[in-house]
Structure formats: structure tokens, C-alpha cells
Amino acid sequence: MTLTPEQRAEIDTLHGRMTDGEWGVWKERVHNKDEAATELALQVEQTEPLAKHLYLLDAGGKCPATTGCGPDSDANAAGIVALKNTWPAASAHIAALEAEVGRLREGLRHYRKLYCEGAGDWCGMLSEIECGGCHAAATLGGTNERD
């Protein structure tokens, strides 16, 4: 399974609606459920403006996270869920692209070898722009060494 264009468009749209900036994980030590409820209540009290909804993530009847009750909470929750649910396809898509890059690099090695054999001693003296074979291979992760 790979990431479909529709899935990517959905994630891109949701990402654009999520709270700006880089995110991190913040944890608060609590010793019991009452302390946890108090901390959550404090976070709700500090939320302005109130979205009039509390957004919780649902994992088969379990709540692994809440994104709160602020103006971006709906988009934050939807974005997290979309990423969680589409990550296997996105990861497979990335792996397929990495494999294709590997195949292209290997194909380039053949043409680089032919080019360098034809260029002889001039190959090492040419500029990066002039030497499309060797220098292009180096740019794509190869080397300038002759095979």
C-alpha cells in the first residue's frame, strides 16, 4: 500500500490548519487521577478562545491524547489521526522512492564509466558543469573514481 494523492492532499490540508510552530511533548507528573484531572482543568481554564468542544483522540475506545478545546484543537486532532492512520502507506511510499533512487544511481554508474573512458585524462580536469558524467554521479551520491 502506498500513499494516494488524495491521502497526501488531506494531510497537507490538515497540516496547514494545525497550530503553527514546531511541536514538542510536554509532560506533567501526577500521582493520581485527581491530580491529572486538575492539570487538565487548568489547561482548559487557560484556553482562549474556547472552541466549545473538547477534542479527544479515539483508539478503539481508549483515549491516547486530547488536543484540548482551543480554536485549532479540531485540526490538531484530525491531523494527528490522519498521520497515524496513513503513516504505513507514507512509509512504504518513501521506501519505494528510495529504492528507485538506488536503481537510478546504479544506472548512472554505467553511463559515468562510459563517459570517463571517452574523456580520458580530460575527465578530472573538466568543471562540474562540463563533466556531466563524473560530477553528476558524485552529486547523486556516487564518486568521481573510475570504475
Q: For residue range 80-128, what is the model confidence (pLDDT) as tens digits?
A: 999 899 888 889 889 999 999 988 888 887 776 666 666 555 555 444 4
What number of CA atoms fall less than 13 Å from residue 57's CA on the CB side?
16
**pTM of the full predicted structure?**
0.62
- Nearest in space to 78 (alpha carbons), one of 47, 107, 108, 57: 57
Which pLDDT score is estimated for 126? 47
pLDDT at site 120: 56
Q: Looking at the DSSP assignment, which residues form a beta bridge with residue 66? A: 56
The rounded distance, in Å, linking the Cα atoms of 69 and 44 is 7
Per-residue pLDDT tens digits for 63-80:
888 898 999 999 999 999
User: Domain coordinates of the chain in residue numbers?
Assistant: 5-102
